[in-house]
A and B are shown apart, each in its own frame.
Chain A
Amino acid sequence: MDHDDATPTTGPAGTSTPLGPPLVELEGVNKHFGDLHVLRDIDLTVRKGEVLVVIGPSGSGKSTLCRAINRLETIDEGEIRIDGKPLPEEGKALAKLRADVGMVFQAFNLFAHRTVLDNVTLGPRKVRRAGKKEAEAEALQLLDRVGVRNQASKLPAQLSGGQQQRVAIARSLAMHPKVMLFDEPTSALDPEMINEVLDAMVALAKEGMTMVVVTHEMGFARKAADRVVFMADGQIVEEATPEEFFTAPKSERAKDFLSKILTH
């Protein structure tokens, strides 16, 4: 396994802030879907303030890895710790942990029967027990930040994909997460809407949010990532800075993958 263990201690690309202590730690993580070994001996540490981009061909396990971090996928072996604490198995403790881990999905998954504003306030009100007024005030601020404040009273279906995804980011931010997971956030978007979402994510990265981003958007990786992890066949094949990875990939697997996505 061509595997670089050295974690950078300063954020090279987008941020110049030094990285904090480990926030998300995966140790010897294995997972199977039936006969398929989707995660093989994954060891990975994400430090506070770090922006990690996970890249790789479809079926490489990158989405599963992302979803395992807040236990939307269970794992068969190994340990995942967030802020030093192992992931709880289920129940209240798990719900509490998930509240601290933001998640943005490929399909947006906004609550279809609730307005944009309700989507953002639901978590703060029902999980954090915030008052209606303060929750709505903050939600409007967050919607403003991602540029969709004027859509607050609409239903998700009335919004474009890009707008929906930005609402989804605001919904996650409203929980004041310690880390945010992005599971291919732009893969379901029309090309002209990808940038509006990426811009919101870049802004978030610059503010020092800890992020794990599964994406193929190299522009984002170059602009905002501290580190790129390349996965193939359930394994981490290569870890490098975005610059190193995109200009001089070490493994054959990564070279092959990059040549395929860079040709057009």
Chain B
Amino acid sequence: MEDYLTIVREYDVLGAFWVNIQLAFWAAILSLVLGSALALFRISPVPTLRWLATAYVTVFRNTPLTIIMVFITLGVWGQLGVTLSTDFATNFFRLAVVALSVYHAAFVCEAIRSGVNTVPLGQAEAARAIGLPFLASARLVILPQAFRGSIAPLGNVMIALIKNTTVAAAASVATETSSVMKTMIEFHSSHIFAIFFTFAIGYVILVTPVGLLTTALSRRLAVRR
């Protein structure tokens, strides 16, 4: 037991979780913005925009995150030289956020679209009938109801996103949890189970509130019809 405590103190476990939390925070914001825009494209009356959004979702939803992560670092940064910060570590952190965002935006788009499907067609017709153009009726009538209907599926996307931040290891973010865990196990293999459970339970504690919160929110904000 004492051994275990020494090991945990030796490594910055909480700091590692903090890195994943930050990755999740920024990727959540960016993917929600990008995903909402994509969802808007998908329901828009312009065929080109619909096609664009569909193509995006098809590509990113069906590509493994690790591959996107590696491509962003080796391809976009390594080959194309796109740099997001002069600081080496910050640069990789931001590249990882970009990879996480573009990947999860596809899922956010689908979650919102499932929310749009909960809004009866009559709502859109009534909005058009009082003279609201497409964007105004989307912003004032359709999307506010769609968001409420998509809180539960969005919660699932966010849960996946939090856990998927560990894939940032593939983008050389070495301070995040899975990388730290690997190092710890490498040097203290006799404590492999204790170390493993430390991180596993850490994630359960981190993720559970998100599920509870979104379930409660989706109930409270449900649009009564």
Contact = CB atoms under 8 A, between A and B. Distances in A.
Interface string A158-197: 1000000000100110010000000000000000000000
A246 interface: no
Contacts of B125: 72, 103, 105, 109
Contacts of A107: 120, 122
B85 to A, nearest CB: 41
Please list the 3 inter-chain residue pairs (A to B) with the smallest Cβ-Cβ separation, ordered nearest first.
Answer: A99-B131, A157-B224, A123-B130
A248 interface: no
A31 B129 CA distance: 20
Interface stretch (B2-10, B53-61, B137-145): B137-145
A70 interface: yes
B182 interface: no
Contact of A172 (B120, B130, B136): B130
B93 to A, nearest CB: 38
B131 A111 contact: no
A92 interface: yes
A32 interface: no
A96 B129 CA distance: 10
Interface in B187-225: 223-225
* Contact-size category for B: 20 to 34
Nearest to B133: A95
27 contacts: A70-B129, A72-B128, A72-B129, A95-B128, A95-B132, A96-B131, A97-B131, A98-B129, A99-B130, A103-B126, A105-B122, A105-B125, A107-B120, A107-B122, A109-B120, A109-B123, A109-B125, A109-B126, A112-B225, A113-B144, A113-B148, A113-B223, A122-B132, A123-B132, A127-B130, A127-B131, A175-B130
Interface string B133-166: 1001000110011001000000000000000000
Given A91-B133, A109-B123, A98 B224 contact: no
B123 A111 contact: yes
Contacts of B140: 122, 126
B127 interface: yes
Contacts of A90: 45
Contact of A112 (B130, B133, B136, B224): B224
A110 B126 contact: yes
A100 B129 CA distance: 9
